[in-house]
Amino acid sequence: MGKIAVVGSINIDYFIETDRLPKLGETVLGKSFFISLGGKGANQAVAASRLGGEVSLFGSIGDDENSKVLKEKMEKEEVDLSYIHTVKDTPSGAAFIELCNSDNRILVVPGANKNTDVSYINRVVSELLSYDVTLFQLETPIEMIEHIVPILYDHGKTIILNPAPARKMKTEIIEKITYLTPNEHEFEMVLNSKDQMVDCLRKYPNKLIITCGTKGVAYFNGEKCINVPVVKVEAVDTTGAGDTFSGAFAVAISEGKNLFDSIQFGNAAAGLSVTKKGAQAGMPYRKEVDSLMK
């Protein structure tokens, strides 16, 4: 089995549940409050680790009280933190999430995540090159990704990019990425294309993997477009479904599974994740996915 490096954001998420959102200048009593580990990097690392991946997280935290909480939570998930950078006089990334009925409102402060930049990645490049699969998202500086992807590519590494939150990517970088996993709302912006989904898929055979919620996952295998159906579940909360898919997909690829089987594995894990409330609370463990796929 190959080792997985996740390079990405690490946040502390503060959740407040309320029946009504305050107006500007108003105070409203909330119903409940809880803290959770978040950020796409940490989420995908946790998803991959729970599914049996050997995972190291590359990223930055601050030197505040939250950094201790974040470290404890990630260690409990058996994510290796050897290359985490602790940034002085800087807060860890934090998200403030107001949950109101079935909707939410979120403010994110990147804090230390901004330091997961070109100079950081240059300091850990030789360690990063010892991993077989590297998984990125777009919550850390894009210049870092544009810098490191060609280096990983030249060393023949498998590179997965979950391009969320979506932003335009350079074509020469997309070409060097092994697998790109946007959702159906993200791919146009990422590819800077107005083409139909099928035309985009045809342009990037066995690379572009578009998750389409309950409609399945689409890719072009060089001959035809394939749709890998999702598992039928009672969805409770789809937060973190995309993160679970990408983490699970990375595990399957690191185990040498083929593309179709890796997507199926991702679908099973992501399907299970939506049956529980919260991004990480619903992320399944390996035996749950294996028994669903039997």
Q: Which residues are catalytic?
A: 243
Q: In the set 114, 238, 278, 286, which binds ligand ADP (CB under 6 A)?
A: 238
Dihedral angle computed from the Cα positions of residues 30, 36, 41 and 43, in that order, rounded to the nearest 10 degrees: -100
Q: Calculate the alpha carbon distances from 184 to 58, 198, 225, 241, 243 in Å.
A: 27, 11, 15, 13, 14
Span interacting with ligand ADP, options 1-9, 69-77, 92-100, 263-271, rule CB under 6 A: 263-271
- Crossing angle of helices 65-76 and 40-50, in 10° steps, is 20
Q: Figure out which of the listed residues 92, 137, 183, 280 binds ligand ADP, where binding follows CB under 6 A.
A: 183
Q: How far is the CB of 274 from ligand ADP (least distance, A)?
A: 5
CB of 239 to ligand ADP, least distance (A): 8
* 267 belongs to the binding site for ligand ADP (CB under 6 A): yes
69 lies in the site for ligand ADP, by CB under 6 A: no
Q: If we measure between CA atoms, which residue out of 29, 69, 53, 23 comes closest to residue 248?
A: 53
- Our CB check for ligand ADP shows the closer of 84 and 169 to be 169
The CA R_g of the chain, rounded to the nearest whole Å, is: 19
* Number of continuous H segments (helices) and E segments (strands) in the chain: 11, 14
Q: Does 51 bind ligand ADP (CB under 6 A)?
A: no
CB of 270 to ligand ADP, least distance (A): 3
Crossing angle of helices 259-273 and 286-293, in 10° steps, is: 110
90/137 with CB nearer ligand ADP: 137
- Residue 198 CB-half CA count within 13 A: 5
Residues of the shown chain interacting with ligand ADP in the complex, contacts defined by CB under 6 A? 183, 211-214, 217, 230-231, 233, 235, 238, 241-242, 245, 267, 270-271, 274
